[in-house]
Amino acid sequence: MDELSARRLRNVVQVLTEQRHIVVSRGASFAGHLIDLAIMQLRLSLHEISEEELSEFSNSLSVDLVSGEHPD
């Protein structure tokens, strides 16, 4: 991803974060959750993290939680 695209994504994340605070403060927690999902997707794109990598990470954390281990 080029720097211009990365900068644009960071700006969108910033705006969405501000909007999330507004909607949550007005009691729209489900809308806030949806905005959180959009922010997460943009951050994954920004940092070039694939859905497979995220899934593997999530599975690893789940296994550690079930076994009682603490990830470093």
* Assigned domain for 72 exists: no
Structural domain including 20 reads: 3-67
Rg over CA atoms, the chain = 16
pLDDT score, position 71: 54
* Assigned domain for 60 exists: yes
Tens of pLDDT along 18-70? 999 999 999 999 999 999 999 999 999 999 999 899 899 888 888 877 777 66
- Cα separation, 54 vs 61, in Å, equals 11
Total structural domains within the chain? 1
* Assigned domain for 42 exists: yes
* Assigned domain for 61 exists: yes
* Sequence-distant (≥ 6) Cβ neighbours of residue 42 within 8 angstroms: 9, 12, 13, 16
* Assigned domain for 52 exists: yes
* Cβ contact 1:46 at 8 Å: yes
Tens of pLDDT along 6-16? 999 999 999 99
pLDDT score, position 72: 55
- Cα separation, 2 vs 6, in Å, equals 6
| Per-residue DSSP letter, 48 | T
pLDDT score, position 53: 93
